[in-house]
Copies of this chain bind each other. A is one copy, B any other.
Amino acid sequence: MKKTTRRQGAKTAPKANGSVDAAENAHDDVTERIRITLATAIGEGALKPGVKILEDAIADHFGVSRTVVRGALGVLESDHLLERKKNRGTFVAEPGIEEAKALFEARRKLEHVILELVLDHATADQLDALEKLTDEEEHIHHHGDEKSKTVLSGKFHVVLAELGGNAVLTEILSKIVARLSLVMSLYEEERKEDCGADHHRQIVGALKAKDLEKAQRLMDHHLADIEGRVRLTEGQGDRHTFLAVLENFS
C-alpha cells in the first residue's frame, strides 16, 4: 500500500514557526537540514558506500516533498558524497582507487598548510581548548563506542583547521575528511590499535612549543598511520559487496 505520506495542507497552516518566528532563521532551511543530516550520517559511517538513498523516505521523515529532498541530494552529489545514476536513483558514493589516492594526498598537503596557519594565528587559549578535545578523545577511547571514536577523530582535524583562521580552507578540509570516511569504509582492512588520540595530543604539544617542523612531522606520521590501514588495490572496494561477502562462506 501507499506509504502514509501525510503532509500538511500548508494552506494558512500554523507553520509551527510561530514558536520563535524571526529567531533561528538560518536553521529553518529544511534543505540545508537534510543536507547536513545526510552528510554527517555519511561522515560517521552510518551510511555505507553503495547504499541506496530513497528520496521518498527522506521526504516523509522531514515532512516535505521530494522536490526539497532532491535539492539537498543535488548538492551532496556535487560534493562527491552521493552518486546519482540516471533514472536509477541516488547512492552513497563509492570513491575509486585514484580518487582515494588523490584525497589522501590532498589531505596531507592541506594539513601541512593548516599547521602553518595555526602557528601564525592561534592563541594560547585556543590551543588549550584544542588540548581539551584530545582529553575527551582519550576518554572515549577507553570506554566509548566505535562510532563516536571516528567522529571525534575527524572532529579534531576540523577544529584544528578552524584555528587556522581561514574559513575557506576549513571548509575544504572538512569536505575532504568526509569523503575520506567513505574511503576508509570501503578499503579499511584492519582497525588495529587506534592511537589517534595519542597522536593528536602530541601534535598539540608541538604546536604549543611553536615547533612547526615537529608538528608537521607528527601529522605526517599520523596520516601515514591512517593510510596504512587501507589497501588501495583494485577489487578491494567490492569487499562488502553482496557477492564478495558470499565468497567468505563458500
Chain B CB within 10 Å, residue with most, of A102, A105, A106, A176: A106
List residues of chain B with CB within 8 A of the CB of A31: 74
Contact B102 A169 (CB under 8 A): yes
List residues of chain B with CB within 8 A of the CB of A172: 106, 172
Contact B75 A166 (CB under 8 A): no
- Asked whether A168 is an interface residue with its Cβ less than 8 Å from the other chain, the reply is yes
A168 vs B116: C-alpha distance in the bound complex, in angstroms?
A: 21
CB nearest neighbor in B for A110: B113
List residues of chain B with CB within 8 A of the CB of A136: none
Contact B71 A102 (CB under 8 A): no
Given A67-B67, A70-B71, decide whether A168 and B78 contact each other with a Cβ distance below 8 A: no
List residues of chain B with CB within 8 A of the CB of A77: 75
- Asked whether A229 is an interface residue with its Cβ less than 8 Å from the other chain, the reply is no
List residues of chain B with CB within 8 A of the CB of A106: 166, 168-169, 172
Contact B113 A167 (CB under 8 A): no
CB nearest neighbor in B for A106: B168
Q: Give chain B nearest CB distance to A10 CB in angstroms.
A: 15
A113 vs B102: C-alpha distance in the bound complex, in angstroms?
A: 13
Q: Give chain B nearest CB distance to A215 CB in angstroms.
A: 16
A226 vs B86: C-alpha distance in the bound complex, in angstroms?
A: 42
Chain B CB within 10 Å, residue with most, of A79, A86, A99, A168: A168
Q: Give chain B nearest CB distance to A32 CB in angstroms.
A: 9
- Asked whether A109 is an interface residue with its Cβ less than 8 Å from the other chain, the reply is yes
- Asked whether A103 is an interface residue with its Cβ less than 8 Å from the other chain, the reply is yes
A residues 29-85 near B (Cβ < 8 Å) are: 31, 67, 70-71, 74-75, 77-79
Q: Which of B78, B116, B169 contacts A75 (CB 8 A)?
A: B78
Contact A99 B169 (CB under 8 A): no
Contact B71 A168 (CB under 8 A): no
Chain B CB within 10 Å, residue with most, of A74, A99, A176: A74
Given A67-B67, A113-B109, A172-B172, decide whether A167 and B75 contact each other with a Cβ distance below 8 A: no
Q: Give chain B nearest CB distance to A102 CB in angstroms.
A: 4
List residues of chain B with CB within 8 A of the CB of A71: 70-71, 74
